[in-house]
């Protein structure tokens, strides 16, 4: 016993970081918990709750209360697993159903009462990018890949090589939404399959030609729907290579469904009761994908969105943020004056660090978004210098921004939209992660960073001291510098008028 008590006493403990990713999907919620140890990411455990949130999304785009209640109940089940995790070590991402729900914020507010972490609604393209990262980090690199993920409300398609996605799309078809449209009563008629397959092919018309032209060396399917179908394919064709699927098996599965006529008469050993209600819709979608994209063989990967989120968290914790690459890409695409962008960034950060604590904006996420807004505030110049703030805001609101969730993109676009001229708080989007007061203060700092660098000169500004107290901001310029800068004084007086629009009083001396 003494030997056991002293075991490992000479082994040095490593610095281990625990991280968790929660995927709020249209059909299921998935939690993955992992640890980062010596640069290696190790999955500790996974938990899944079947929720079928998409069932509660009505034709007008509102999520009904039973669906919200089911979702919150699932989150309560996950709460114990996440207790004690640091704020920056947990990411909760929501996909198609909350993207579409007009009352998504009702769910998010309820979720915040259960879990002390923000729920990020991500775009379809961002979901596709993260799915690819999950697959790329967990499968052998066999050349160019096509990755397909069939979800409850949408289906994602990605072509990539190595860790780099090349082409990403998200289409509005999923096994829950197609079940409601074509297999609602559990009937498995040939006519219903034909209609569902045709509808999926019509969606695929938007991408099929481009994807076939680009091509791939291996096709990989993810998600529970594809996993189930591959298991059933193995039942009907034992000679099929394990974990793979061909078009022939899909057609045989459709024939078996039509022959059974009813869902409850399907007699597959690998078809569980939880997956059975949405099986026919997923089968129809997958067959349409095989035929439209001319797929010969599909392999299965266990990794998907949540694993992609986990691996991206590892990159961020190691300070290799995908958002930096996104900002750099935009700067190149829109020919941003990078020297001016850096001037504005430097001034903005000088002011931010002096007032962040007093203004309750001292948060790494807010600092990063303020910094990116400073670097990207002139992306709209390529459209027109007049109203550049509107053009810049429009670009950042509507561009695909890998690494940014929907609220982060909304905040980035809002900061840039009001980096000059009057501030209209009535035009702010509704935020759940950020308070309007914080948004106004970030805009104030960005506006000052822009106006103080209007001459676009290096080494122009003196040392600036900034003090903030409630809604008052005091700026002091060293060495009586303002006495010899009448134009700057005039600009700051005008700036003070603009800031009054959001209740901030600027005092300069």
pLDDT for 161 equals 94
pLDDT for 17 equals 78
Count how many domains the chain has: 3
* Cα dihedral 386, 392, 398, 400 sign: positive
Same-domain pairing of 64 and 179: no
pTM confidence score: 0.76
Distance CA 3, CA 291 (A): 64
pLDDT for 3 equals 56
Asked, for residue 179, whether it belongs to a domain, the answer is yes
For residue 80, the enclosing domain spans: 6-123
CATH at 17: 3.30.420.40
Distance CA 326, CA 324 (A): 5
pLDDT for 8 equals 46
Same-domain pairing of 152 and 294: yes
Per-residue pLDDT of the chain (509 residues; tens, 9 = 90+): 455 555 545 545 456 778 999 999 998 999 999 887 655 668 888 898 989 898 899 989 999 999 999 999 999 999 988 988 888 889 999 999 999 999 999 999 999 999 999 999 999 999 999 999 999 888 888 799 999 999 989 999 999 999 899 999 999 999 999 999 999 888 899 999 999 999 999 999 999 999 999 999 999 999 889 999 999 998 888 888 888 999 999 999 999 999 998 888 888 888 887 788 899 999 999 999 999 999 999 999 988 898 888 888 876 655 456 778 788 888 888 888 999 999 999 999 999 999 999 999 999 889 999 999 999 999 998 888 888 999 999 999 998 887 788 889 999 999 999 999 888 888 898 888 899 999 999 999 999 999 999 989 898 999 999 999 889 999 999 878 888 888 989 989 999 998 988 889 999 98
Alpha carbon of 394 to those of 193, 322, 403: distances in Å?
Answer: 41, 22, 18
Same-domain pairing of 34 and 83: yes
pLDDT for 10 equals 55
Residue 294 region by backbone torsions, left for phi larger than 0, else alpha for psi between -120 and 50, else beta:
left
Is-contact 475 495, C-beta < 8 A? no
Q: Among the three residues 242, 271, 302, which one is the final residue of a domain in this structure?
A: 302
Asked, for residue 319, whether it belongs to a domain, the answer is no
Nearest to 306 by CA among 146, 5, 482, 78: 78
Asked, for residue 314, whether it belongs to a domain, the answer is no
Q: What is residue 266's three-state secondary structure?
A: coil
Distance CA 39, CA 311 (A): 11
Same-domain pairing of 263 and 377: no
pLDDT for 76 equals 94
Same-domain pairing of 110 and 171: no
| 3-state secondary structure string across 31-92 | EEEEEEECCEEEEEEEEEEECCHHHHECCCCCECHHHHHHHHHHHHHHHHHHCCCCHHHEEE
pLDDT for 11 equals 46
What does the block give as tokens for 86?
A: 């640091």
Same-domain pairing of 11 and 58: yes
Same-domain pairing of 331 and 281: no
Residue partners of 287: CB distance under 8 A and separation at least 6? 197, 247, 250, 251, 254
Same-domain pairing of 480 and 374: yes
CATH at 255: 3.30.420.150
Asked, for residue 384, whether it belongs to a domain, the answer is yes
Same-domain pairing of 147 and 292: yes
């Amino acid at each position: 016993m003494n030997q056991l008590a002293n075991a490992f006493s000479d082994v040095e403990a490593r610095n281990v970081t625990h991280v968790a990713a929660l995927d709020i999907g249209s059909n299921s919620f998935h939690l993955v918990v992992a640890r980062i140890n010596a640069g290696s990411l190790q999955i500790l455990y996974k938990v899944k709750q079947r929720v079928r949130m998409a069932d509660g999304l009505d034709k007008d785009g509102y999520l009904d209360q039973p669906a919200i209640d089911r979702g919150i109940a699932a989150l309560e089940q996950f709460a114990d697993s996440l207790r004690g995790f640091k704020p920056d070590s947990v990411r909760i991402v929501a996909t198609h159903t909350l993207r579409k729900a007009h009352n998504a914020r009702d769910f998010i507010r309820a979720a915040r009462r259960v879990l002390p972490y923000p729920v990020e609604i991500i775009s379809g393209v961002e979901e596709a990018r993260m799915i690819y990262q999950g697959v790329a980090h967990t499968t052998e690199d066999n050349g160019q890949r096509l990755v397909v993920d069939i979800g409850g409300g949408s289906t994602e398609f990605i072509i990539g090589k190595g860790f780099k996605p090349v082409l990403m799309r998200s289409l509005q078809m999923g096994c829950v939404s197609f079940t409601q449209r074509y297999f609602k009563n559990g009937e498995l008629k040939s006519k219903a399959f034909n209609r569902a397959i045709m509808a999926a092919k019509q969606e695929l018309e938007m991408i099929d030609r481009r994807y076939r032209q680009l091509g791939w060396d291996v096709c990989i399917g993810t998600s529970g729907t594809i996993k189930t179908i591959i298991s059933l394919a193995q039942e009907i064709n034992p000679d099929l290579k394990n974990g793979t699927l061909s078009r022939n098996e899909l057609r045989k599965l459709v024939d078996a469904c039509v022959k059974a006529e009813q869902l409850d008469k399907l007699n597959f050993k690998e078809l569980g009761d939880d997956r059975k209600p949405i099986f026919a819709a997923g089968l129809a979608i997958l067959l349409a994908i095989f035929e439209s994209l001319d797929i010969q063989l599909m392999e299965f990967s266990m990794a998907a969105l949540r694993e992609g989120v986990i691996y991206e968290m590892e990159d961020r914790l190691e300070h290799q943020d995908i958002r930096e690459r996104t900002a750099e890409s935009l700067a190149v695409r829109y020919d941003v004056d990078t020297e001016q962008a850096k001037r504005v960034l430097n001034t903005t950060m000088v002011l931010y660090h002096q007032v962040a604590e007093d203004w309750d904006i001292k948060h790494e996420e807010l600092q990063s978004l303020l910094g990116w807004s400073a670097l990207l505030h002139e992306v709209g110049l390529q459209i027109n210098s007049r109203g550049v703030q509107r053009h810049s805001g429009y670009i950042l609101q509507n561009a695909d921004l890998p690494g940014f969730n929907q609220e982060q993109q909304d905040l980035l676009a809002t900061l840039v939209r009001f980096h000059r001229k009057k501030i209209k708080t009535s035009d702010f989007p509704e935020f759940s992660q950020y308070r309007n007061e914080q948004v106004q203060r970030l805009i104030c700092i960005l506006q000052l960073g822009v106006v103080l660098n209007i001459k676009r000169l290096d080494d122009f500004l003196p040392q600036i001291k900034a003090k903030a107290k409630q809604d008052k901001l005091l700026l002091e310029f060293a060495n009586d510098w303002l006495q010899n800068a009448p134009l700057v004084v005039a600009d700051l007086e005008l700036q003070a008028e603009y800031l009054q629009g959001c209740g901030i009083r600027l005092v300069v001396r």
